[in-house]
Chain A
Amino acid sequence: MFQFIFRRLSLVIPTFIGITLLTFTLIRLIPGDPIDVMAGERGVSPERHAELSAQLGFDKPLYIQYFRYVTGVLQGDLGNSLVTKESVMSEFLTLFPATIELATCAALFAILIGLPAGILAAVKRGTVIDHSVMTFSLTGYSMPIFWWALLLMLVFSVNLGWTPVSGRIDVTYWIEDVTGFMLIDTFLSDEEGAFTSAVSHLILPSIVLGTIPMAVIARMTRSSMLEVLNEDYIRTARAKGIAPWRVIVIHALRNALIPVITVIGLQVGILLSGAILTETVFAWPGVGKWLIESIGRRDYPVVQGGILIVACIIIFVNLLVDITYGIINPRIRHSR
């Protein structure tokens, strides 16, 4: 087991180096001189240019610049935003809880709907239920989620008035920032109705962000269940007279879940990149909206740092998924 974890960990290092190389090159590929870009339209005098260049290390050879960059990154230093002058890391940390909250609710929605739908489709194979689950999941999989967001907003917020249009909570509430998670903070606060308001703001964004993962999970659960249901041990269990639901839930599902867990883990990337679109539509103050706005403002350190952090989170989650997979499935652990 340790050997497996070690082998898997050793793969992370080259990937990390690759990603830092990518974000390092990113800022240097921007047309024009980085200092002129930072200075904006006013420009800088040649003396100031040289001074800034020395200060930021642009006068050093590239490999030293890269080495400095990676050392900084490893210490959590991602530079400062050109617009707010705040450190990129601290800006990220204040916004990240909002994204985690949204992504978690979306993942819950995806799992709670996708898993049972997939099981149902497999058990009722070939029936109307199966066909409609598969049609819905293929539609969900093909959905342009920014449009889906607009459509849901059109129906539920504008026409029916059931849910608010955007933001995390009504402006009438002032919630003290304890954990950064609105659901927890409003739950802890004394303000009446704040929690309900936070929940109602979360519903549509979660459904939108959870749609594609839900479709993927439903499809994966169905095919994995179908495979397991064909196995001999299931027939044996049925022959022994075990209740049908028990065969499905206890015997089949446990084995069928192994590939599904991997797929759920892989959705983290989809959730984080989908968050960019969802947060933009719903004006959700998270990391995705921050990244897009920074691109618009040409705030390159933020773009560079933000992409690096998000990529690192995804690598980390993929690593966790692989290790979990190795723990629950010994066949993977021992294969090379």
Chain B
Amino acid sequence: MTIQTTNTTETSTDNNLVSAPIPMTPFQEFWHYFSSNRGALGGLIVIALIFFMAIFANFVAPHSPSDQYRDALLLPPAWLEGGNWSFVLGTDDVGRDILSRLIYGSRLSIAVGIVAVTASLIMGILLGLVAGYFKGMIDTAIMRIVDIMLAMPSLLLAIAIVAILGPSIVNAALAISIVSLPHYVRLTRAATMAEMSRDYVTSSQVIGASPLRLMFVCILPNCLAPLIVQATLGFSTAILDMAALGFLGLGAQPPTPEWGSMLANALQFVQRAWWVVTFPGLMILITVLAFNLMGDGLRDALDPKLKQ
């Protein structure tokens, strides 16, 4: 693959000397591969829009998510007969603006995603580094627990945890982060073990680096690529599981504008108000799809095996 930067072409025309192409910085190289993947780029744009929507929900949303317009119950979307342009996507059974609820809902989904992914990433990295670095008994113990957790479907385990702790957003986020822990532990452990046999680790060890320094300064930065990919994909799982818990009544509780719990009592509107059913789910699908697309793109861009 030939990669020419604009710099090299300029110099070659100026003084007829062909200089070697300036090597790309790791970030430029990453961006080159990432941006050539249209799906990933699309995912990134959608995610950026959703983040923007979540952060500036107060300014973007036309109404408050909890305001009930009693004279506008179950109003259809604006472009349909009987619709009203002040409620673009229509209203629900108590007259709340669906668009505003979706916009505020993105805040919750993104927040839960960030909290759940960060929590499981930190715990997973710690456990994985310890298991991979010390090996032996500690490794066996940690990996056995991880195997047990992997034997349970994530949603079932999350439901079990929420059943104990009681239904709430915080407990749901906690359950989701516990459930996704095994993947991070396994990835970190495998990457740590691979790095441990490298020369640079041995030489730092000979120089006298402490185990902590070896683990966090030498090894960890080199294990980050698969973790970044997994974290992106973990975001989509977190949003999906959160919505499923909300739908089952085990996550966010009704007045909260959360995408999944907005669908919790949608079953009764299937017959008369399709917009109440359609839009929250579409939002979940688009968000999850965007994270999955970006995750796939990141994997392709960060995996050295796929590069030439």
List A residues at the B interface (Cβ < 8 Å).
11, 14-15, 18-19, 22, 26, 29-31, 138-139, 141-144, 146-148, 150-151, 153-154, 157-158, 165, 269-270, 272-274, 276-277, 280-281, 291-292, 295-296, 303, 307, 310-311, 314-315, 318
Asked if B281 contacts A144 (CB within 8 A), the reply is yes
| Interface presence of B17 (CB below 8 A) | no
Given A18-B144, A30-B164, A142-B292, verify A273-B281 contact (CB < 8 Å): no
**What is the CA–CA distance of A144 and B296 in the complex, to the nearest angstrom?**
19
Please provide the chain B residues from 135 to 172 with a CB less than 8 Å away from any CB of chain A in the complex.
144-145, 147-148, 151-156, 159-160, 163-164, 166
- Are A151 and B277 in contact, CB atoms less than 8 angstroms apart? yes
Contact check: which of A150, A281, A295 meets B163 at CB < 8 Å?
A: A295
Stretch at the interface among B204-212, B217-225, B283-291: B283-291
Chain A nearest CB: distance from B12 CB in Å? 34
Closest chain B CB from A105 CB (angstroms): 19
A18's nearest neighbour on chain B, judged by CB, is: B148
Contact present for A144 and B277 (CB under 8 Å): no
B147 to chain A: which residues have CB within 8 Å? 11, 15
Select which of A30, A157, A280, A311 is within 8 A of B151 by beta carbon. Answer: A311
Contact of B152 with A281 in the complex, beta carbons under 8 Å: no
B139 CB to closest chain A CB, in angstroms?
A: 14
B274 and A22 form a contact (CB under 8 A): no
Nearest chain B CB to A82's CB is how many angstroms away? 14
List 8 A-B pairs, minimum CB-CB distance, nearest first: A147-B281, A273-B153, A18-B148, A269-B153, A142-B288, A273-B155, A142-B289, A144-B284
B145 touches A18 (CB 8 A): yes
Q: In the complex, A29 Cα to B166 Cα: how many Å? A: 11
**Knowing that A154-B270, A276-B248 are A-B contacts, what are 8 other residue pairs whose CB atoms are under 8 Å apart, sorted by A's residue number?**
A138-B296, A142-B292, A144-B243, A144-B247, A147-B281, A277-B155, A303-B160, A314-B153
Identify the closest chain A residue to B288 (Cβ).
A142
List B170-212 residues whose CB lies under 8 Å from chain A: none
Residues of A within 8 A of B243 (CB): 144, 146
Contact between B270 and A138, CB atoms less than 8 A apart: no
Against A, the Cβ 8 Å flags (1 = close, 0 = not) of B269-308 are 0110010011011001100110011001000000000000
Q: Are B148 and A19 in contact (CB under 8 A)?
A: yes
Query: Chain B contacts of A154 at CB under 8 A?
Result: 270, 274, 277-278
Chain B: which residue is nearest A283 at the CB level?
B267
Residues of B within 8 A of A143 (CB): 285, 288
What is the chain A residue whose CB lies nearest that of B276? A150
0/1 per residue, B223-252, Cβ < 8 Å to A? 000000000000010001001100111100
14 pairs, A vs B, C-beta closer than 8 Å: A18-B145, A22-B148, A138-B293, A139-B285, A142-B236, A142-B289, A144-B243, A144-B284, A147-B280, A150-B263, A277-B244, A291-B159, A310-B153, A310-B156
